[in-house]
Structure 1
Amino acid sequence: MIREIRIEGYRSLRSAVMAMGRLSVVTGENGVGKTNLYRGLELLRAAAVGDLARRLAQEGGMASALWAGAPPLDPDDPEAPRARRDARLKLGVRLDSLEYEIMLGLPGPTDPALALDPVVKEERVSIHVEGRRAVMLERKGPHIAAREQDGAWRSYKGALLMAETALATLRDPHQFPELHILQKRLTDWRFYHGFRSDADSPLRQPQPAVCAPTLDSDGVNLAAALATAIHLKEGPQGIERSEVGRAVEEAFPGSRLEFVEAAGRYLVAMRMPGFPRAFSAPELSDGVLRYLALVGALCAYRRPEFIALNEPEASLHPGLIEPLGRLILRASAETQILVVSHSDALARILEREGGARVARLEKLRGETLMPSGPESEG
């Protein structure tokens, strides 16, 4: 499990530490920084996948990602360039026994990096055993040192570009076993936010009729993921008794899923009471389609170790909040879940019925403030 996340110097998060439970909820008013916390977790996964530089570039580069509450730099101040170069973005995650930390900064005038590149200043992998912490890999700029099997340190130089992470690049499971475990675990994380429901949405398009054990983040394999969760667990005739069937029945009583197959492709469809035919994905309402995407994410045949849901209640009728809460609670028995939500009703259900750890964020003078302690231990 993820035990703790730390984010410093990122947008509205000057210094945020959040303890995580099996089920955690982040809530608060608009603009308090909930999405920044969610994106900070996405950046940790990006460090493991190897696209951290690209992700930050999509946000406008390092300069726009740094702590937004710092006073503006006076261009006439001779110390301004130094202050700009000294700005840092820090990310950290503590799993059960492994810990990963990375510190990023802006490229200097002579650094071999492009303008939007994040420069990895420091990177560290540690292992915690019986209350003691041992550093297994440490990086400072281009210099990397790793602890070998006998405990001796070995140095590596020039192995990485300044914007590359050791976590993604050093992939030898025998030479860097702790790094390999972290890569696997962080890469397995899945983030689901704002499924598109327009006419060209991947959710509405025919999809290859092949097994899909996990729903992709954009839902491009929704029909295949739902069919896999049903057929591989219950068989083709087991829709009603499957997890997916139960979730659909709770949200839309009397309805059942069907799958339309043509030319090796699937379309998900729903048969509803009072209608002589099923309605396929292009015909379903935005709310129904997005709810089915959440069902696909949370009832997947192979659930990821960690799932983050950002505003899962968006576009849903208030009557779907309780079924959504039950869906999340059942999934949290098998995987760790973080829910970022505006919905007090959803947060109350998860806290009351699932013992969720709830963090209600606030903002003071532009800084996102985390609660001083968990409201529920989870």
Structure 2
Amino acid sequence: MSDSARVHIEELRLSGYRAFENARLQFDDLTVLVGRNGAGKSTLLDALEFVRDALTDSLANALERRGGIQALLHHGAREAKVLSVAIHLRLSGGYLHEVEGRTRLPIVSDASRDGTLVTYGFSIAPKRGGLGFVVTREVARSEHQHFVRGLGNAKQHRSPAVSLPGGPGFRLSNDALGLPFVADVDVLWRAVLEALRTSVRAYSLSPAAIRAEPPVGGASVLSRNGSNAGDVLHHLERSKADVAWLNKHLAAIVPGLVRVRAETAAGRRLIRFHQRYNKSKTAGVVFDVGDMSDGTLRCLALLLALRQKPTPALVCLEEIEDSVHPAALGVLLDAIDASTSHCQVLLTSHSPEALSHPAVTPERVRVVEWREGSSALFRLSLGAEEMSRPPRSVGKLLRTNALFTARDSERVEGDFFAAP
């Protein structure tokens, strides 16, 4: 079973989160965010990571890394008093069976064996006086089960009583999330917790971090800045098909490249690029990362992000065009388009060359704009959709400042935590 069939990210919802007063981002197999600098593209990626961090470490630490709740609360014309975030994801029956077999927790509902659409999210607000925060609502809801927790009166800041492993007398702290606790007694919520912890990976790659060649590690998942690219490459070398795929795309980017390999020396993981000498068919010259350009190292890390094991359900890549030659951009987008068969991909870009690739269809584009003190998400207008079809492109519209959006933004209407 492919990774994308196991977990599929359907939608992200935000309310009162940084520059977004109200927004919903629906994901395709490939989703492309377009917008000016500072419009809010990076905030959408951060929100996905915020949920992951809150469930992997703690909500308090996730907030502290971002400057506290006051730094995250939206400050616009209608200043938010509550911050809400929700993610909708689809879990396959195979994924639920996998978690069931590993945890020995029973699947409560027979219907969930065929897979299920799940909504998970929470709302938090600052405590009176601005010191600390309180979870005002937490929702985990599927087609067959639900877990809802909330404060009847948020002003009282009382610990809400929920059904948790500790029994009826257990009181969950009002600054902690309940999902990690209910995950210990129910396979569906364990599956949701694991999916939210592992299914989204966002990347802002740094060639300087890749050049550092850190000590040998055991991680097979690429770090956010790509610093452990050598370790990920080493794990990938166990698959001939993945190595062939990687070398094929890199050879189309780097003239004369034969292969790239992970090696070790003095306890450090090294990356070596083997290139042809003159017209020889074999590799005659070996270069290390210090000899390669920023663009080459970013291309390597981007390709590794798409093929790492286990592959995340959603791979988020910021500013794919950074330091990359326009000809190499086409190769990368070919690789991304081919990779959507086993993972979803979210790109941010403001490059006309990248947006002119055939994979960037108007249906896959979301425009982020700053309007009247808030960031908002838009689809393209019907006219822009028609104008961006071949032989024209989204990139050509961007170049001529004709990337017109729909009149209404993509917003959450009604219950914030309702199923899509």
**TM-score scaled to structure 2, two decimals?**
0.72
> Secondary structure of 1:277's partner?
strand
Q: 1:192 to 1:372 in 2, by over 3 A?
A: closer
Which residue of structure 2 lines up, in the alignment, with residue 136 of structure 1? 147
Q: CA deviation at 1:143?
A: 1.1
* SS of match in other structure, 1:302: coil
1:334–1:121 Cα change, 3 Å: same
Cα contact 1:11–1:69 (8 A) shared by 2: no
Map of 1:82 onto structure 2: none
State whether residues 15 and 22 of structure 2, in contact with CA within 8 Å, keep that contact through their aligned partners in structure 1.
yes
Q: Given the alignment, which residue of 85, 104, 110 partners 1:91?
A: 85
Identical residues among aligned pairs (%): 23
Q: Is 1:103–2:130 an aligned residue pair?
A: no
Between the aligned partners of 2:381 and 2:146, the Cα distance in structure 1 is: 28
- Report what 1:121 is aligned to: 136
1:233 paired with 2:230, answer no
Separation of aligned partners in 2, 1:312 and 1:192 = 12
| Alignment partner of 1:245 is 2:247 | yes
Bigger Cα displacement from structure 2, 186-195 vs 13-22: 186-195
- In structure 2, distance between residues paired with 1:345 and 1:288: 18
Contact 1:125 1:136 in 2 (8 A): yes
Q: Distance in 2 between matches of 1:99 and 1:203?
A: 40
> Distance in 2 between the 1:176 and 1:165 partners?
16
Q: Displacement of 1:123 after TM fit?
A: 0.4
Deviation of 1:43 (Å): 1.1
- The answer to whether the 8 Å contact 2:256/2:276 transfers is yes
Counterpart of 1:16, as a letter, is A
Residues 333 and 357 in structure 2, CA contact (< 8 A), matched pair in contact too: yes
TM-superposed deviation, 1:46: 1.8
Question: Deviations for 1:35-76, whole angstroms, at most 9, x for unmatched residues?
Answer: 11111111121232133322322322111211121468xxxx
**Cα distance change on mapping 1:169 and 1:309 into 2, 3 Å:** farther
Distance 1:155 1:328 in 2: 49
- Partner deviation per Cα, 1:105-135 (whole Å, 9 max, x = no partner): 11224xxxx93x4421110110125xxxx53
Partner of 2:330: 322
TM-score by length of 1: 0.80
Q: Is the 8 A contact 1:350 1:356 kept in 2?
A: no
CA 1:263–1:170 in structure 2 vs 1: closer, same or farther (change >3 Å)? farther
- 1:5–1:92 CA contact under 8 A, matched in 2: yes
Q: CA separation in 1, counterparts of 2:60 and 2:222? A: 25
Q: Secondary structure at the match of 2:285?
A: coil
More moved, 215-224 vs 90-99: 215-224
One of 264, 270, 273 as aligned partner of 2:273:
270
Matches within 5 A, 1:183-262: 183-198=193-208, 201-208=209-216, 210=218, 212-230=219-237, 232-234=238-240, 239=243, 242-255=244-257, 256-262=259-265
Are the aligned partners of 1:56 and 1:118 in contact in 2 as well (CA < 8 Å)? no
Query: C-alpha distance in 1, partners of 2:59/2:301?
Result: 26
Q: Distance in 1 between matches of 2:302 and 2:320?
A: 8
Structure 1, 280-289 or 14-23: larger mean CA deviation = 280-289
Task: Note if contact 2:164-2:182 (Cα within 8 Å) is conserved in structure 1.
Answer: no
Spell out the pairing of 1:1-378 with structure 2 (5 A cutoff): 1-70=8-77, 87-96=81-90, 97-109=117-129, 115=131, 117-128=132-143, 134-140=145-151, 142-146=159-163, 157-160=170-173, 162-172=174-184, 175-198=185-208, 201-208=209-216, 210=218, 212-230=219-237, 232-234=238-240, 239=243, 242-255=244-257, 256-274=259-277, 276-349=284-357, 351-352=359-360, 357-371=364-378
- Paired residue secondary structure (2:304): helix
Could you tell me how far apart the structure 1 residues matched to 2:57 and 2:169 are? 19
5+ residue gaps, structure 1 = 73-85, 149-153
Change (3 A) 1:167 1:271: same
Give the whole-Å Cα distance in 2 for the aligned partners of 1:325 and 1:220. 22
d(CA) in 1 for partners of 2:169 and 2:206?
44
Contact map agreement 1:11 1:68 (CA 8 A) in 2: yes
| Counterpart contact for 1:66–1:87, Cα < 8 Å | yes
- Using the alignment, how far apart are the partners of 1:203 and 1:142 within structure 2? 48
Q: Taking structure 1 as reference, are residues 25 and 374 closer, same or farther at Cα in structure 2, changes over 3 Å only?
A: farther
Give the superposed CA RMSD: 2.9
Q: Would you say the 8 A contact 2:137–2:148 is kept in 1?
A: no
Which deviations, in whole Å up to 9, do the C-alpha atoms of 1:247-281 show, x marking residues without a partner?
Answer: 21122242021333224542011123448531112
